[in-house]
Amino acid sequence: MKKIKALLIASFLIITIAGTCFSANAAIQVVNKVQQLQQPQQSGEGTVTGLILNESGFPTNGSIVMLFRAGYFVPTQIIEPRNNPDEQYTFNAVPSGQYRIVAAKLGMGVGFTQVFAVYDGVTTTVDVSLDKPFAEMNYTGVNGTISGIVRDENNEVVDSANILLFQKGKLLPCKFIQSMLDGAYELDVPPGQYRMVAAKLGSGTAFVPTFLVISGATTTRNIILRNPLFPGQQPQQQQIIVKKQVLLKK
């Protein structure tokens, strides 16, 4: 009887030790995987180029083109393509990663792409078709006004600057206008929260963070176009780090 009891105890200890070792190995494997996920994404830079097409599929000029990192609302680069026959745009020195493009043209519409990858030393060709209407504004109420003056870094007024208005959280612009000869612009919109991006070839770019428009009131947002273009943004990996910390505590 004592032999049987000793045998049972030994078996239990073996199973417990084996289970502990297995759990430890599993935990180590998961930690290693998390550490691998935390490694920096592929470094280097690539090029993004393509055509801006109208509804019929023909190249068109006079568009503004914005490059966004996937998951971000602030463009990393904005360009106004030159008025050439093939209307080709090119983004140079684009850090490797995931991106999307939004383009717009006065009197025509908006175009956007699905997320695509940019690789080190590779030229990625992405054509954009302006076949979508501007985003509908889901705010209601008596309109308010957004107005201001567009200037460059030398405090000179900038005419014909391209200004795109976005509702908070929306990927597509809801309005697109150009500044007047004196640099002034004005937009009538329903009350709500908005942001803006602006650009003019040779003058620079600007981003106006989210602001509030109140019913019946005028909101002033002066815009300064600056060079160089927006710097690239690295996606946050906070969620992965938190998972690792929780695992190590266990």
Rounded Cα–Cα distance for residues 208 and 196 (Å): 5
Q: Check whether the bond before 228 is cis (ω within 30° of 0).
A: yes
Q: What are phi and psi of 52, to 5 degrees?
A: -100, 120
Give residue limits of the domains in the chain.
Answer: 45-225
Q: What is the pLDDT of residue 87?
A: 80
Q: What is the pLDDT of residue 1?
A: 55
Q: What is the pLDDT of residue 4?
A: 54
For the chain, what is the mean pLDDT? 79
Q: What is the pLDDT of residue 191?
A: 95
Q: What is the mean pLDDT of residues 41-55?
A: 86
Which value, to the nearest 10 degrees, does the dihedral of the CA atoms of residues 184, 68, 61, 160 take? 10
Structure tokens at 57: 């599929």
Binned at pLDDT 50, 70 and 90, residue 131 comes out as confident
Rounded Cα–Cα distance for residues 123 and 118 (Å): 8
Q: What is the pLDDT of residue 9?
A: 55
Rounded Cα–Cα distance for residues 64 and 83 (Å): 11
pLDDT higher at 30 or 136: 136
CATH class of 45-225: mainly beta
pLDDT score of 45 more than 90: yes
SS3 31: helix
Q: Residues 206, 226: contact at Cβ < 8 Å?
A: yes
> E-assigned strands of 131-172?
144-152, 162-167
Q: What is the pLDDT of residue 134?
A: 85
Does this model's pTM top 0.75? My answer is: no
